[in-house]
Amino acid sequence: MNQRIDLLPVDEADEPRNRQARDLARRQLSWPVNLAPETLSYVSEGHALLLGNERDVRRAARALANRGLGSLSLLITEPVAAGANDDEALLAATDHLSQHSLSREQRRRLRLSGYLGCFTASLDTPQGPLDLAKALADRTHFDLVIDLGEVPCLGLELPPPGYLAFHWEDAARDTRLTEAADLVGEFDKPRYVQVDAQRCAHAANGQPGCTRCLEVCPADAIASRQGRIEAWIEIDPYRCHGVGSCASACPTGAISYRQPTAPRQLDTLLGWLSAYLTAGGRTPVVRFLEAETLLEDAAGHVIDIPLEELGAAGHDQWLAALAGGAAEVRLQYHADMPDRLRTFLDDQLALARGLLSALGHAPERLVCLAPGDTAGRDAPSALPPLTATPLVLTGDDKRARLDQALDRLAELGTPDGERHALPAGAPYGGITVNQATCTLCMACVATCPTPALGAGRDAPRLDLREADCVQCGLCEAACPEDAIRLTPGLLTDPARGERRVLHEEAPFPCIHCGKPFASAGTIAAIKAKLADHPHFAGDAARRLEMCEDCRVRDAWRAMARDPDAQLKV
């Protein structure tokens, strides 16, 4: 591995200097936090739906009586053993409540959705959906749901606010019941993320594309919506928990955190690194962690990056930290991480390590720490920093900033100029074009969500800047000639950042005025497809070889000569 500077690994003698340098860096730049993010409100009157087996539902209803909830509706979804409901006091305390029992078949047709203050529950019937809020509580919705079923009705890692799922025998039962009773009133929550539809690679011109954000959300708060022609990504802010994995997974920056923004967060990180090295700190280690797990100060050489959610920083920020002077980047996992978030971060680590290896660097510079691993947190890095020169990123475009970090890592490494395989689904690669079948119709350019694909201005030409390609597949899906194939993997050649021609043809001149207006391949393909069309029969076929202006003029001249010509078609 190529190391450009000679810095010794940190030892105990460096600790005072490292701690002083880190504290100085923190004073010079404050970490961006959610000081006043845009918020949304939940309004709940406490009308609750309790579902589960009859005994547990009635127990919960009795425990919640006189606790300030608006109303209690009981939905019996599971049978209990014979004799289990012979408690007359329990029946007397709850028998006046609105209630309904479901058969085993009906339970499979129960539909529940929503969030605090706006839950809908319906039952599919032969006559149509039965609105349970209307039937049980004479309301348009329930405000909260208490699910005591053996299997939760909503099997989500991060269920929506207002949905509480637990068993009656759980040790935390009383705490959960108190939590439910407190869900009355108005509650504010930040709008964590936003979507820029212009940058989104999910779909274009009716073609399907990127689905990375849909695959990583542990709250299922992201959905693909289909219009008459186009599909788009929609994030439900009321169900979003702000995990941030969607923003980190998005290759174009279409999804981004509102506060702090990714550019500001990364610029602050790089500023800390620069100040640390300038103040004489040695072999810095950057640790990403969730702010609420920052219980005690780490060793002096460890620069902690406190995030609201660990998923808010992905491989682009980790690699930028290494390119900006960190010797190592560590991710501090914690015990309460959703499984889908853990899987996402593991995948991001595999991708980042693959990129490092392709550029000639040790993948061991990126590590994850198990929950509570203080020894691993404070351990000195066995590798020196790649550079002591600060990294300054320009612009706000996520992909452009990432490319700047990759270019710096390429300068500091030993890239071989070849294409290197990366984990499946990585947003790096190019495309190949079958020149024998490509007609340069430019459908691929029209669907490309980034500046990756371009059309020639002065000649029929298709070109590519691979650094902008996110492997969404829209061009491949849109090509009517099936002439495009994705070529995944990181190309470690400077040509990755340059435009190269994929296919070019001589322009086809209009047979009437001589103006070039299409490629020869496009005209040949159109003539072949319209050979039997009655509108282009006989001499009219020559109009296919005319530009749009001459084609219209020729049609009008024909009509002037024979006014009934259009009736003969």
For 510, the enclosing helix (H) or strand (E) is none
Determine the Cα–Cα distance for residues 456 and 378; give it in Å rounded to an integer: 55
**Token pair for 248:** 């980190």
Kindly indicate the confidence band of residue 8, based on its pLDDT and cuts at 50, 70 and 90.
Answer: very low
Over residues 126-142, the mean pLDDT reads: 93
Over residues 271-299, the mean pLDDT reads: 90
Tell me, what's the pLDDT at 5?
36
The position carrying tokens 């959300």 is: 217
Determine the Cα–Cα distance for residues 51 and 48; give it in Å rounded to an integer: 10
Over residues 315-341, the mean pLDDT reads: 96
Residue 220 has pLDDT above 80, yes or no: yes
Residue 81 has pLDDT above 80, yes or no: no
Tell me, what's the pLDDT at 447?
94
Kindly indicate the confidence band of residue 21, based on its pLDDT and cuts at 50, 70 and 90.
Answer: confident
Over residues 297-317, the mean pLDDT reads: 92
Residue 138 has pLDDT above 90, yes or no: yes
Sequence-separated (6 or more) residues with CB below 8 Å from residue 483: 433, 434, 435, 437, 438
**Selected residue with higher pLDDT from 324 and 102:** 324
Length of the chain: 569
Helix (H, G, I), strand (E, B) or coil at 260: coil
> Whose CA is closest to 392, among 320, 468, 315, 317?
320
Q: What is the DSSP string of 119-169?
A: EEEEEEETTEEEEHHHHHHSSS-BSEEEE-SSS-SS--SSPPTTEEE--TT
Determine the Cα–Cα distance for residues 284 and 274; give it in Å rounded to an integer: 10
Residue 406 has pLDDT above 90, yes or no: yes
The position carrying tokens 């797990």 is: 293
Residue 35 has pLDDT above 80, yes or no: no
Domains and CATH numbers, the chain: 12-33+264-415 (no CATH), 41-190 (3.50.50), 193-257 (3.30.70.3270), 420-504 (3.30.70.3270), 508-568 (no CATH)
Residue 225 has pLDDT above 50, yes or no: yes
Helix (H, G, I), strand (E, B) or coil at 319: helix
Over residues 423-438, the mean pLDDT reads: 95
The chain-wide mean pLDDT, for the chain, equals 88
**Selected residue with higher pLDDT from 566 and 417:** 417
Q: What is the pLDDT of residues 227-270, one digit of tens each?
A: 887 889 999 999 999 999 999 999 999 999 887 888 999 999 99
The position carrying tokens 């820029």 is: 196
Q: What is the pLDDT of residues 473-529, one digit of tens each?
A: 999 999 999 999 999 999 999 999 999 999 988 888 888 888 887 777 777 777 787
Calculate the alpha carbon distances from 377 to 128, 228, 288, 300 in Å: 58, 52, 11, 11
Instruction: Provide the 8-state DSSP code for 291.
Output: G
Determine the Cα–Cα distance for residues 15 and 428; give it in Å rounded to an integer: 40
Tell me, what's the pLDDT at 243?
92
Calculate the alpha carbon distances from 472 to 98, 236, 487, 526 in Å: 51, 23, 11, 28
CB 322 within 8 A of CB 365: yes
**Token pair for 345:** 């971060």
Determine the Cα–Cα distance for residues 486 and 207; give it in Å rounded to an integer: 15
Query: Model pTM?
Result: 0.84
CA atoms within 13 A on the CB side of 43: 1
- pLDDT over 90 percentage in the chain: 65
Over residues 553-560, the mean pLDDT reads: 81
Tell me, what's the pLDDT at 114?
96
Determine the Cα–Cα distance for residues 338 and 218; give it in Å rounded to an integer: 7
- pLDDT over 70 percentage in the chain: 92
Kindly indicate the confidence band of residue 9, based on its pLDDT and cuts at 50, 70 and 90.
Answer: very low
Determine the Cα–Cα distance for residues 211 and 562; give it in Å rounded to an integer: 55
Over residues 284-312, the mean pLDDT reads: 90
**Token pair for 501:** 């021609």
> Whose CA is closest to 83, among 56, 55, 104?
55
Residue 216 has pLDDT above 60, yes or no: yes
Q: What is the pLDDT of residues 354-382, one digit of tens each?
A: 999 999 999 999 999 999 899 999 999 99
Q: What is the pLDDT of residues 282-295, one digit of tens each?
A: 999 999 999 888 87
